[in-house]
Amino acid sequence: MGEEGVVTEPDGRGIAQGAIRILYEDEDLLVVDKPPGQCMHPTVHHPRGTLMDAVLAYWAARGETRAFHPVTRLDVGTSGATLIAKSPAAHAQLARLQAAGAVRKTYLACVEGRVPRSSGVIDAPIGRVPGSIIQRAVRRDGQPACTRYRVAVRYAAGTLLISRPLTGRTHQIRVHLAHLGHPLFGDDLYGGARTAIARPALHAWRLAFPHPRTGELVRLTAPLPEDFRRLLERLADPFSSPCGG
């Protein structure tokens, strides 16, 4: 327990549990550190090895029969803290908190180029690209979308940003940063190069929310995965080019 009324992770690293990495768990909820490349649910292209499979297997090994109730969702390439309810009642309460803006998600995003402003707000509607099921873009007829960001570190060829989505649109941070002229490293769907990292350099770093039963503030941090760390090391090396060559 941290300061009064605040629940924090014990060491910032989480607890290794087989196929999942647990950041926090109690009778109402589970927060796991999703690795990059893992899909949330089974799909046509990812029928097995999903986060749902891993979580259900973890519960089954403990003799628990539960349904998978994710509250926050990450793209297959995005890593980091993912909140899962352990009952329909907890899910409903957490969903209400999320709709009210009480579930605070903070991401680390590494983008191409040097972002000139130290902080800013990207307020631009997002909609589906015509003819594509997956791709999104800033569009006048899109849904309202707002993202805050601030610069954490500037490198010669890139910038590490701390970013908070204030709305929850599909691919929101990815689309907004590409719209800003600074696509994520590895995000070839939105103009980023995959030479330095093979997936979008986006990590769900911090998660904070009121506990659905007690109201205490739960604050958790997911450590950077190895591929993201290697990218930052490469950007910090003056003799290394993150775009190849």
At 217-234, the pLDDT tens digits run: 999 999 999 999 999 999
Average pLDDT over residues 99-117: 97
| Domains of the chain, each with CATH number or no CATH | 6-236 (3.30.2350.10)
Candidates 62, 76, 94, 68; CA nearest to 34 is 76
Mean pLDDT, the chain, rounded, equals 91
pLDDT of 12 above 70? no
To the nearest 5 percent, what fractions of the chain are helix, strand and coil?
Answer: 20, 35, 50
Quick: pLDDT tens for 64-92: 999 999 999 999 999 999 999 999 999 99
Active site residue 75: yes
The 10 Å CB-count burial string (b at 16+, else e) for 103-130 is: bebbbbbbbbeebeeeeeebebbbbbee
The pLDDT value recorded for residue 18 is: 53
Candidates 172, 65, 59, 64; CA nearest to 109 is 172
Task: Indicate whether this model's pTM tops 0.95.
Answer: no
pLDDT of 49 above 50? yes
Catalytic-labelled residue, pool 75, 123, 187, 237: 75
pLDDT of 163 above 60? yes
Residue 55 in tokens: 């979580």
